[in-house]
Amino acid sequence: MLPYTEIIHDKLSIILTFAYSWTHLRDFLGDRLQGEFKFLDKTINRIGPEHAIRAFIELAAYLRLLDDSLNRQLSGVFARQKFGRIAKKDGSEEPLFLRDLTNKIVHAKEWKWDTSAPNEPKLICLSNDPDRWLAAEVDINAFAVFCGGLGH
């Protein structure tokens, strides 16, 4: 069996490092540097977000594999723990629970980072099926606490 929790922690480290540094790096690029720094801009604004999203997708897949290997005990025990919210086409919202979280991350057509509140970063997953849901907003803090509590 793969060491799911070790992989999950590894991916979580990438996500947290990005989510909590991106705002500061963009400020550094915009406020402190004079001139054009297109490769530094590419590193901060394209490569960094892409790596963190890839880590999130991989983490979600491994989290689902771990839950499945435990006969859905994780999603059962944490069935009411909220990890964000799901926005629906009719304007309503639903809480984002563990099984939905992994589905929304893996099946999204696009992902965006929201670091407008630097201490409360979020990953926004845009729907591949807007008739069922428009977007899912993943609360990185709640997700990190959950993943950080997984042991092996």
Helix axes 4-27, 140-148, angle to 10 degrees: 150
Give the per-residue pLDDT at 58: 97
CB 15 within 8 A of CB 142: no
- The pLDDT, as a whole number, for residue 2 is 65
Could you tell me the pTM of the whole model?
0.88
pLDDT at 118: 84
Position 145 scores a pLDDT of 95
Whole-number pLDDT of residue 36: 77
> Which residues in the chain land under pLDDT 50?
1
**CB within 8 Å of 52: residues ≥ 6 apart:** 14, 15, 18, 19, 113
pLDDT, residue 44, reads: 83
Which tens digit of pLDDT belongs to each residue from 21-59? 988 888 777 766 666 777 888 888 889 999 999 999 999
Q: How far is CA 75 from CA 27, 53, 98, 151, in A?
A: 38, 22, 6, 15
8 Å CB contact between 43 and 25: no
Q: What pLDDT score does 33 carry?
A: 63
